[in-house]
Amino acid sequence: MLGQLLSLILLLLLGAFAGHQLLQSDPLGPCAGMFLVCISWCLFDQYKIKNVLKWLRDTELEPNREIVAKGVGGYIKIIDRVVRLQRALKRINADNVLRLNDFLSAIQVSPNGVLLLDSESRIEWCNQTAAYQLGIDMKKDVMQLIANLVRDPIFSNYLKHYETQKEIVIQSRDSRPEIPRMISLQLFPYGEGRRLLLSRDITQFEQAEVMRRDFVANVSHEIRTPLTVLAGFVETLLTLPVSDEERQRYLELMSTQATRMQTLVNDLLTLSKLEGSPVPSKTEWTPVMVLWRQCNQEALSLSQLLSLHPSQQIKFEWLLEDEKCEVAGSRNELFSAMTNLVSNAVRYTPEGGTINVSLTQLLTGDIEFTVNDSGPGIAPEHIPRLTERFYRIDRSRSRDSGGTGLGLAIVKHVAQRHDSLLSISSQLGKGSTFSIRIPSERLRKSTTEPAGLV
């Protein structure tokens, strides 16, 4: 700055001297010289400012300092400062873009849908989940009215009269009658008239809710029937004069109903324990021989209980391949699963039928507990649903034989908790086969004679 001032003073002095020399007779000569210097200085300054403005206007890229410096004189300092500012701004901008991209990527992977609406309810942006759930194509549908794309009347009404914190539930775009899918939507206002729309797939939640309602209805129904019978007999015994024989018969029927309720409650407790307790450890070892013998006794006593004529009793065939094998897991759970399969076979196989029970070793090192019967068999459409709670093919038959509809649900749970697989195969009229395959990781050979054998 000082240098510029000194240069100007020097040029003015030179101009005055030159004016005096050229116009010696005229006293205004020095003034004219200085005037010309001022005009030239201003013009040159204008030229430099023009170059600076040109650079500011044209340059997008970082300037070549050497070239720029030629036509701008002292203004190069301003240019240097601008360049520094420009670089700092670029850095900040790049940081912001990076953070924005991170933020958008995080919202993209969210399992919930996020959609931004402007004040006119036009789509400004949405993540992939929202696009999928609502059927939006982000290439074509940006700035489209959301009401034109999501045509559910519940949603259209909600868009007009929405209340904060209140959500609505509509069918998802890919919902089908056989596989209904539901999504919940909720609007939140932000900025100047803008709105954020959050979408959430609640199909599983809805299914769980339906299952819960069904379960409560089933349990109530199962308990109400024997309770009604019991109440009826109690009422009869209290109010009517009955003979000793009748009293005895009524008491026996009441006892059957009470046992039925007891079995149901026991099965429910078993299921709830299976669902609520930690997975059985792999440190508790049970000899398969112990399970095998308990199973054997259960099957024979149940078969004797159900058969009227000893001559027509069910024939059993037992095959235990490896007597020295031990299984890691809960002894009670494994026993309950195995006896459930055997008792089902006994209950559904008509008198004179055959039941084969085997525990065989597979080439993979796993073992398979199989119960095969010559009963009525199961139609293929029922097989995938047999392990659902209270699913029964023939309700009255199941009840008459003391079934609760929970047996196979218990078996499936126990199998899962022991990393094992329950498989069912059957042919109508030809019998059924139920197997539990226990993986080799849960097996070992015992070195001693199994304890607890009877």
Q: Pick from 262, 238, 233: which is nearest to 249 by CA?
A: 233
Choice between 114 and 345, CB closer to ligand ADP: 345
Distance set, CA 29 to CA 22, 37, 40 (Å) = 7, 13, 17
Choice between 88 and 269, CB closer to ligand ADP: 269
Q: What contacts 95, CB < 8 A, 6 or more positions away?
A: none
Phi–psi pair at 400, nearest 5 degrees:
-60, -35
Beta-ladder partners of 356? 317, 372
Q: Which two tokens stand for residue 120?
A: 């006119």
- Decide: is 195 part of the binding site for ligand ADP (CB under 6 A): no
- Decide: is 403 part of the binding site for ligand ADP (CB under 6 A): yes
Give me the least distance between CB of 178 and ligand ADP, in Å please: 23
Distance set, CA 312 to CA 78, 316, 343, 357, 376 (Å) = 111, 12, 17, 19, 17
Choice between 129 and 432, CB closer to ligand ADP: 432
Choice between 348 and 369, CB closer to ligand ADP: 348
From candidates 34, 376, 412, 443, binder to ligand ADP by CB under 6 A: 376
Give me the least distance between CB of 409 and ligand ADP, in Å please: 6
Choice between 159 and 346, CB closer to ligand ADP: 346
CA distance 93 to 99: 10
Give me the least distance between CB of 105 and ligand ADP, in Å please: 47
Q: Which two tokens stand for residue 206?
A: 């809805």
DSSP 253-270: HHHHHHHHHHHHHHHHHH
Do residues 206 and 183 lie in contact, with contact meaning Cβ atoms separated by under 8 Å?
no
From candidates 134, 183, 302, 345, binder to ligand ADP by CB under 6 A: 345
Q: Give the range of 5-13, 33-41, 129-137, 396-404 binding ligand ADP by CB under 6 A.
A: 396-404
Q: Are strands 421-427 and 168-171 parallel, antiparallel or unpaired?
A: unpaired
Choice between 132 and 391, CB closer to ligand ADP: 391
- Decide: is 268 part of the binding site for ligand ADP (CB under 6 A): no
DSSP 203-230: HHHHHHHHHHHHHHHHHHHHHHHHHHHH
Exposed / middle / buried, residue 261 (Cβ in 10 Å: 0-12, 13-18, 19+): middle
From candidates 375, 415, 438, 442, binder to ligand ADP by CB under 6 A: 375
Give me the least distance between CB of 428 and ligand ADP, in Å please: 10
- Decide: is 336 part of the binding site for ligand ADP (CB under 6 A): no
Q: Give the range of 240-248, 287-295, 330-338, 392-400 binding ligand ADP by CB under 6 A.
A: 392-400
- Decide: is 326 part of the binding site for ligand ADP (CB under 6 A): no
- Decide: is 127 part of the binding site for ligand ADP (CB under 6 A): no
Give me the least distance between CB of 408 and ligand ADP, in Å please: 3
Do residues 46 and 66 lie in contact, with contact meaning Cβ atoms separated by under 8 Å?
no
- Decide: is 353 part of the binding site for ligand ADP (CB under 6 A): no
Question: Which parts of 426-445 interact with ligand ADP (CB under 6 A)?
Answer: 432
- Decide: is 412 part of the binding site for ligand ADP (CB under 6 A): no
CA distance 192 to 359: 72
In the shown chain, the binding pattern of residues 138 to 177 toward ligand ADP, with x for contact by CB under 6 A and - for none, equals: ----------------------------------------
- Decide: is 394 part of the binding site for ligand ADP (CB under 6 A): yes
Q: Using the CB atoms, write b or e for 378-395: b if 16+ within 10 Å.
A: beeeeeeebbebbbbeee
Laid out side by side, the sheet with 325-328 consists of 285-287, 325-328, 443-445
CA distance 331 to 63: 82
Q: Give the range of 143-151, 250-258, 298-306, 386-394 binding ligand ADP by CB under 6 A.
A: 386-394
- Decide: is 386 part of the binding site for ligand ADP (CB under 6 A): yes
Q: Give the range of 91-99, 141-149, 291-299, 401-409 binding ligand ADP by CB under 6 A.
A: 401-409
Q: Where are the alpha helices (DSSP H) in 59-192?
A: 65-72, 76-108, 128-134, 146-149, 153-160
The residue count for binding ligand ADP (CB under 6 A) is 21
Q: Which two tokens stand for residue 359?
A: 């525990």
Choice between 141 and 333, CB closer to ligand ADP: 333
Positions that interact with ligand ADP (CB under 6 A): 344-345, 348, 373, 375-376, 378, 386, 391-394, 398, 403-409, 432
